[in-house]
Chain A
């Protein structure tokens, strides 16, 4: 009798456990396509302003890179991505290399791009991380 009861209850409990998180997860997903608008804008900004030096995949190999010393940063490097917080990246984009004690060949974009545009660009930069 007891084993029968467990036999009935167990699948019920299990199904409750498995189904519930899935259902609530579905409701609570913060809609990825919405952020993809920002990501699209970030990508457009990156392709327009950054790609010429940092390259299509962020590898620091854009067509303008080969005559530069120091070479542009490899933005896809996982170690670099781990080390730098979004705030660090925002700072160097806005104030330029000279502003943070690096090469002045990285210009300051703070007066050209809005803060939001820089945030979107960083959002896209994070997707360039090499796996």
Chain B
């Protein structure tokens, strides 16, 4: 019977082979997870009926399919069964409820899991899904960098609910990463670093040497990184920079200013305080800190250069955020006299500002060094823009596979993108000899933030429906004369207008015309006084001529308005709503004095309301009180949920507040 035996054997073999697949399926770990989850649910359930529901759940693969988001299939919920189940709060992993985020628990069906967390959505074993298997595609984002996920859709620098991502992006903007590295959406980026053409008439060889050695040692606010140059390279660069042709006009201005008679330092001191230089600069660390430290500036720049620069900074650096003040010639002389007296490096050698006698050979070598390190990326000549970015493309860096990264000498690192990026940002040249990226000296926290920002740059743009690009607010900056004034006084260095501008000021100008009264604004522009004396960053006194102030105020009154602010808030309401006495009672009862000063009492955080009658338009006060966050999303003035009537009464009270007669306007 060999044939029969053969039959029997093959049949058995056949059956065994047939059973392999179902057996493999039956033994897959997710089944064990689902059984465990059912048991856990039965224990944690809040009712008998709910408990039964857990037991009745069939064992199956769960998935979220997102045809609109790159056709993603996420099966993570096959094991992470409790992510949307409040019963599973603080349950053991992998069953625990997902922590709160702006998109959970409400939006699982819209975003799935991998759009934020990365990892392999369709996989159903832990190793493959989390991408821990050797060089699987996108591995799971480590929890430390989770906010990188937000960056895939949210394009703004500041993303709400993502503090770490926002910090990282702000650092990348400030340190000018995109001057060397190209990035989709940041093509227009231009460094604010000064062109170097006037360097020979500005500083001396010794100062330049110190600066090139370690910029942060010379100025703690420096954004220029440390290029770890050798003595030789520093020498070459110095000769190159000193060998440049200074533009004739600038050389003439510096020379003429240097020959002017000395000014009055005492008056300069007063002017320095009045001009609120520390709204951007620092003096011995005190100040806002986005602009250079000034306490040693007279040992960094010649008197002539300082004087010519203070008078017209834009001639030297067209991209500087510094406004052009309207100083009289004698005033700028006084200001510089004060700086010459006080802002010196008293330990520096006498010859710190001595020019260099240029050696042609060294200068030629220096030009090559200048190119080799890509210095031109930030210090480009005026108007010229390098045709190609100096550093590697950062587009899609967040999706780079670890296998494509050069770990070089860094055998100590785990072979992951996150480890590579963290090491690169912290110590850029540690991977191999001859690398050129300079060192930025970031703290551990800053490094984490930058890595988060980098991981947020995906290889592919997310579909339109998912992209969150900051809305452009309609706030035109007029061309012509007013545009020139806005540019001259660099309003946008501190204030926001629409979606443009800096964040030094707490007062966006987008609705300024609806907010303040024109006459007050003209006075304020001519002689600004501190609305919030507690702040370091205050509006400078530009010495603006009254005609210019009037032109600006007219433009603001016409253009920067919002139709949501009523002209007369009391119109159509009974006159009892305009009851200022009731308003005062509300003012006290609600605790407004916690932040605002009226008379001489109250907190320092909000603007004092003493001059409100002359300053604020009642329509604005009312619109503001009805919901401060409508006007500035992050404003700290709480929304009290006032009724129309209460808001009107408060408005009426605030409109009666006048400056106490004893305190003259313009007092600090």
Contact = CB atoms under 8 A, between A and B. Distances in A.
Contact of B639 (A44, A64, A111, A120): A111
A107 B638 contact: yes
Interface stretch (B19-27, B205-213, B541-549, B602-610): B602-610
B591 interface: yes
A36 interface: yes
B99 A34 contact: yes
A97 B594 CA distance: 12
Nearest to B641: A111
B656 interface: no
A40 B164 contact: yes
A33 B142 contact: yes
A73 B164 CA distance: 29
Interface in A73-124: 96-98, 103-109, 111-112, 116, 119-120
Nearest to A66: B604
A44 B636 CA distance: 13
Interface string A26-61: 011111011111101101100011001100000000
A22 interface: no
A94 B595 CA distance: 18
B476 interface: no
Interface in B600-633: 601-605, 629
Interface in B112-169: 142-144, 146-147, 161, 163-164
Contacts of A120: 100
B144 A33 contact: yes
B18 interface: no
A123 to B, nearest CB: 10
A12 interface: no
A119 B93 CA distance: 22
B93 A31 contact: yes
Interface in B578-602: 588-591, 593-595, 601-602
Contact of B93 (A29, A63, A106): A29
A18 interface: no
B96 A30 contact: yes
Given A48-B634, A106-B594, A67 B100 contact: no
B457 to A, nearest CB: 20
Contacts, number: 93
A64 B603 contact: yes
A38 B99 contact: yes
B591 A98 contact: yes
Size bin of chain A's contact surface: 35 or more
B628 to A, nearest CB: 8
A118 to B, nearest CB: 11
A96 B595 contact: no
Candidate in A37, A52, A96, A98 with the most chain B CB atoms within 10 angstroms: A37
Interface in B47-106: 90, 92-93, 96, 99-101
B534 interface: yes
Given A33-B142, A33-B143, A38-B100, A96 B93 contact: no
A48 B163 CA distance: 11
Contact of A119 (B100, B588, B601, B602): B100
A64 B604 contact: yes
Interface in B159-216: 161, 163-164
A103 B591 contact: yes
A30 B93 contact: yes
Given A68-B594, A106-B594, A44 B163 contact: yes
B466 interface: no
B449 to A, nearest CB: 11
B108 interface: no
A102 B342 CA distance: 50
A100 to B, nearest CB: 13
Q: Quick one: which of A33, A64, A119 has the most chain B CB within 10 A?
A: A64
A112 B631 CA distance: 13
Contact of A36 (B143, B595, B639): B143
Contacts of B7: none
Nearest to B98: A34
Contacts of B146: 33-34, 37
Nearest to B628: A112
Contacts of B92: 27-28, 30
A24 B387 CA distance: 58
Contact of B640 (A34, A36, A108): A108
> Among A34, A38, A43, which residue has the most Cβ atoms of chain B within 10 A?
A34
Contacts of B99: 34-35, 37-38
Given A52-B605, A107-B638, A37 B147 contact: yes
A103 to B, nearest CB: 7
A28 B93 contact: yes
A53 B603 contact: yes
Contact of A105 (B144, B161, B593, B639): B593
Contacts of B602: 67
Contact of A52 (B161, B634, B636): B636
Contacts of A107: 590-591, 594, 638, 640
Interface of B: 90, 92-93, 96, 99-101, 142-144, 146-147, 161, 163-164, 534, 588-591, 593-595, 601-605, 629, 634, 636, 638-641
Give 5 closest A-B pairs by Cβ, nearest first.
Answer: A33-B143, A104-B591, A105-B594, A111-B639, A64-B605
30 contacts: A27-B93, A28-B92, A30-B90, A30-B93, A30-B96, A33-B142, A34-B143, A35-B99, A37-B146, A41-B163, A43-B163, A44-B163, A52-B605, A53-B603, A53-B605, A63-B534, A64-B603, A67-B602, A67-B604, A96-B638, A98-B591, A103-B591, A104-B591, A104-B594, A106-B594, A107-B591, A108-B638, A111-B638, A111-B640, A116-B100
Given A37-B146, A41-B161, A64-B604, 15 more contacts: A29-B93, A30-B93, A31-B93, A37-B101, A44-B163, A48-B634, A52-B636, A53-B603, A64-B595, A67-B601, A67-B602, A96-B638, A97-B591, A107-B591, A119-B100
